[in-house]
Amino acid sequence: MEKSENKVGFIAKHAKVATVCAVLFGATSGILGRLITAPAMAIGFWRLTIALPFFIIPALSNSAQRDKLKAISPKDYMWCFISGAFLFAHFFSWFNAVKLTNIASAAVLASLHPLVVLLVTIFIYKKRVNYKAILAILVALAGGAVIVGVDYNAFAGGNLKGNIFAFLAAMFMGLYFSVGDAVRKRVDGGLYVLLVFFSCWICFIIGNIVTGTELLGYPAMDYVMLVAMALMCQIGAHAVFNLCIGHVSSLYVSTWETGDAVFSTIFAVIFLSQIPKGYEIIGCIIVVCALLYYNRQES
Residue 198: burial class (beta carbons within 10 Å; 0-12, 13-18, 19+):
middle
Convert the pLDDT of each residue in 210-235 to its tens digit. Answer: 999 999 999 999 999 999 999 999 99
Question: What pLDDT, in 10s, does the model give residues 163-216?
Answer: 889 999 999 999 999 999 889 889 999 999 999 999 999 999 999 999 999 999
pLDDT band (50, 70, 90) for residue 1: very low
Given a cut of 80, is residue 161 above it in pLDDT?
yes
pLDDT for the residue 80: 97
Residue with more model confidence, 32 or 10: 32
Q: How far apart are CA 46 and CA 234, in angstroms?
A: 11
Residue 250: per-residue pLDDT: 80
Which is higher by pLDDT, 125 or 227? 227
Candidates 182, 173, 132; CA nearest to 298 is 132
Distance CA 158, CA 6 (A): 48
Return the half-sphere exposure (C-beta side, CA atoms, 13 A cut-off) of residue 42. Answer: 17
From CA 100, how far away is CA 292, in angstroms rounded?
27
d(CA 291, CA 259): 10
- State the pLDDT at residue 37: 95
> In this predicted structure, what is the pLDDT of residue 42?
97
Sequence-distant (6+) residues with CB within 8 A of 61 are none
Taking residue 16's Cβ as centre, other Cβ atoms within 10 Å add up to 13
CB atoms within 10 A of CB 237: 24
* Percentage with pLDDT > 70 across the chain: 92
Query: Which pLDDT belongs to residue 5?
Result: 46
Top mean-pLDDT range of 103-112, 138-147, 189-198: 189-198
* CA gap 75, 83 in Å, rounded: 12
List phi, psi (to 5°) of 242: -65, -35
Q: Is the pLDDT of residue 18 over 70?
A: yes
> Which whole-number Å values give the CA distances from 44 to 102, 120, 126, 203, 206, in the listed order?
20, 26, 34, 10, 12
Instruction: State the number of CA atoms in the 13 A half-sphere of 1 facing the CB.
Output: 6
Across the range 276-291, mean pLDDT stands at 82
Cα 262 to its chain centre, rounded Å, is 15
80/145: higher pLDDT: 80
Specify the pTM: 0.84
The alpha carbons of the chain give a radius of gyration, in whole angstroms, of: 19
Q: Max Cα separation, the chain?
A: 59
Range from 49-58, 144-153, 179-188, 268-277 carrying the lowest mean pLDDT: 144-153
**Three-class SS of residue 261?**
helix
